């Protein structure tokens, strides 16, 4: 009797709990474990000292790439003679207000700084205030400044500012993609390049870069992605090339080595048995390998920024989540805590899985597959897809609706868009 009562209570508790879960979570199998935005990553804490070191590397370390940007491309001469602060801002370069004395900030705000004079740019570079640009500036006999050496850092493409002083001038936002930056146009200013190479670089446009052009000669640039929100992903970049199997320091470190050596031309080496070439720019030194763990730790310390308050309609977003999980079935790929199935055993998808306009980029990668892009913080960085072919999140929804024939109503589409804005 006593026993039977206990069993009944136990059964009631179990069933009670189950039906309660179902009610709360809306009967979706995904809500148990890999629901969008749900689930545990259980990642080890990052070493704060390593993170701090990585911040310095991210912002200021050139890996010795002055041998390329100065000795080969002669960008120091280009900047010195022709790049005024106005020009620099117009190609998307950003200025760190915290690196400037208060008197200079006030003068900028009052319009008293000559933003048409390349000499002012040199002053900014001397103060370490131009994001991603590291230079050595010296004074000539006549009092003018010279840019003797110049190199670039990771902050060039992967950081921006909050515009608190003026457009392009403010506090640093490390790991946010600089979608204003026109790296191709900047490189095209080098006198060391042929006319046709210059024309290709100049054609890419703001926020775009092709990290494979210098190997296969194809011009097929991709958007500069965020370097935040990546901790827990076993594979890095759109095509998932970066993994621990090909870089013991980690998936993001794989790609950091790739870019610092093969694109920035830092002193280091890169090789991957899946790719047909090896690059060795070591000059009796390796300025890359030893900083990779710190650099990666800094990137991992940056989570995706939360959507600003009042930037989306909460009720619509809640309805949109249901569309995401049911009718549109986005959850079949964008699931789990980071909205990507790559965390489950490093899953990648074939070429046809992308609804971007360009389909060819993937063929140039090591994997020839797509990683499902994590969606946290997407409100922050339009345009979308690797080729930037969707200008807004509403365009993303329209694209999926059309390509996957989802038959969403106008209301379902706008609800789904609000949900995407909330991630």
Q: Which parts of this chain interact with ligand HEC (CB under 6 A)?
A: 152, 154, 156-158, 183, 209, 211, 222, 224-225, 227, 230, 236-239, 252, 255-256, 259-260, 264, 295, 299, 328, 330, 332-334, 349, 353-354, 356, 370, 372-373, 375, 378, 384-386, 396-397, 400, 416, 420
Which position has the token pair 């009052």? 110
Residue 31 or 258: the one with the smaller Cβ distance to ligand HEC is: 258
Residue 124 or 187: the one with the smaller Cβ distance to ligand HEC is: 187
| Contact present, 369 and 361 (Cβ < 8 Å) | no
Residue 108 or 330: the one with the smaller Cβ distance to ligand HEC is: 330
List Cβ neighbours of 259 (8 Å cut-off, separation of 6 or more): 154, 211
Backbone torsions φ then ψ of 65, nearest 5 degrees: -75, 0
- Which of 36, 356, 358, 299 lies closest to 174 in space, CA to CA? 299
- Token pair listed for 417: 């868009």
| Contact present, 254 and 241 (Cβ < 8 Å) | yes
Burial of 207 (0-12, 13-18, 19+ CB in 10 A): buried
Residue 37 or 211: the one with the smaller Cβ distance to ligand HEC is: 211
Longest dimension (CA), the chain: 103
In the complex, minimum distance from the CB of residue 73 to ligand HEC, in angstroms, rounded to a whole number:
13
In the complex, minimum distance from the CB of residue 10 to ligand HEC, in angstroms, rounded to a whole number:
40
Residue 120 or 188: the one with the smaller Cβ distance to ligand HEC is: 188
Burial of 292 (0-12, 13-18, 19+ CB in 10 A): buried
Which position has the token pair 């109503």? 409
In the complex, minimum distance from the CB of residue 112 to ligand HEC, in angstroms, rounded to a whole number:
33
| Contact present, 104 and 113 (Cβ < 8 Å) | yes
Residue 21 or 332: the one with the smaller Cβ distance to ligand HEC is: 332
DSSP string, 199-212: HHHHTS-TTEE-TT
CA distance 156 to 94: 9
In the complex, minimum distance from the CB of residue 71 to ligand HEC, in angstroms, rounded to a whole number:
18
CA distance 122 to 146: 7
In the complex, minimum distance from the CB of residue 140 to ligand HEC, in angstroms, rounded to a whole number:
30
In the complex, minimum distance from the CB of residue 18 to ligand HEC, in angstroms, rounded to a whole number:
28
**In 110-250, which residue ranges form alpha helices assigned H by DSSP?**
118-126, 155-158, 183-188, 195-202, 213-216
Residue 108 or 226: the one with the smaller Cβ distance to ligand HEC is: 226
Residue 95 or 108: the one with the smaller Cβ distance to ligand HEC is: 95
Residue 108 or 207: the one with the smaller Cβ distance to ligand HEC is: 207
Helix (H, G, I), strand (E, B) or coil at 130: strand
In the complex, minimum distance from the CB of residue 388 to ligand HEC, in angstroms, rounded to a whole number:
8
The enclosing H or E element of 85 equals helix 85-90
In the complex, minimum distance from the CB of residue 143 to ligand HEC, in angstroms, rounded to a whole number:
33
| Contact present, 188 and 113 (Cβ < 8 Å) | no
In the complex, minimum distance from the CB of residue 413 to ligand HEC, in angstroms, rounded to a whole number:
9
Residue 119 or 392: the one with the smaller Cβ distance to ligand HEC is: 392
In the complex, minimum distance from the CB of residue 136 to ligand HEC, in angstroms, rounded to a whole number:
19
């Amino acid at each position: 009797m006593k026993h039977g009562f206990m069993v009944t209570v136990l059964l009631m508790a179990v069933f009670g709990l189950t039906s309660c879960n179902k009610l709360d979570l809306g009967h979706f199998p995904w809500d148990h474990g890999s629901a969008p935005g749900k689930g545990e990553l259980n990642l080890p804490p990052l070493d704060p000292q390593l993170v701090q070191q990585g911040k310095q590397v991210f912002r200021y370390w050139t890996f010795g790439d002055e041998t390329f940007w100065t000795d080969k491309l002669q960008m120091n001469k280009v900047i010195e003679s022709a790049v005024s602060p106005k020009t620099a801002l117009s190609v998307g370069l950003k200025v760190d207000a915290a690196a400037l004395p208060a008197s200079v900030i006030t003068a900028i705000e009052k319009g008293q700084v000559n933003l048409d004079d390349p000499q002012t740019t040199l002053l900014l570079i001397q103060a370490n205030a131009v994001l991603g640009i590291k230079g050595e500036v010296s004074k000539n006999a006549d009092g003018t400044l010279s840019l003797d050496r110049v190199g670039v850092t990771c902050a060039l493409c992967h950081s921006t500012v909050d515009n608190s002083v003026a457009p392009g001038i403010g506090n640093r936002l490390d790991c946010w993609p600089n979608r204003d930056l026109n790296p191709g146009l900047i490189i095209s200013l080098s006198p060391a390049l042929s006319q046709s190479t210059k024309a290709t670089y100049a054609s890419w446009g703001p926020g775009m870069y092709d990290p494979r052009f210098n190997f296969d000669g194809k011009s097929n640039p991709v958007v500069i992605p965020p370097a935040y929100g990546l901790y827990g992903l076993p594979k890095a970049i759109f095509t998932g090339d970066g993994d621990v199997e090909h870089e013991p320091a980690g998936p993001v470190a794989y790609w950091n080595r790739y870019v610092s050596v093969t694109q920035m031309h830092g002193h280091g080496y890169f090789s991957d048995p899946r790719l047909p070439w090896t690059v060795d720019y070591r000059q009796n030194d390796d300025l890359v390998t030893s900083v990779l763990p710190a650099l990666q730790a800094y990137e991992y310390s940056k989570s995706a920024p939360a959507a600003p308050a009042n930037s989306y309609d909460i009720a619509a977003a809640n309805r949109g989540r249901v569309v995401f999980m049911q009718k549109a079935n986005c959850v079949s790929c964008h699931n789990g805590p980071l909205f990507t199935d790559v965390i489950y055993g490093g899953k990648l998808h074939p070429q046809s899985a992308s609804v971007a306009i360009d389909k060819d980029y993937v063929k140039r990668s090591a994997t020839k597959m797509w990683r499902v892009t994590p969606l946290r913080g997407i409100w922050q960085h339009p345009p979308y897809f690797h080729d930037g072919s969707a200008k807004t999140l509403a365009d993303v929804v329209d694209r999926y609706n059309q390509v996957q024939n989802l038959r969403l109503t106008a209301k379902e589409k706008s609800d789904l868009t609000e949900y995407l804005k909330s991630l």
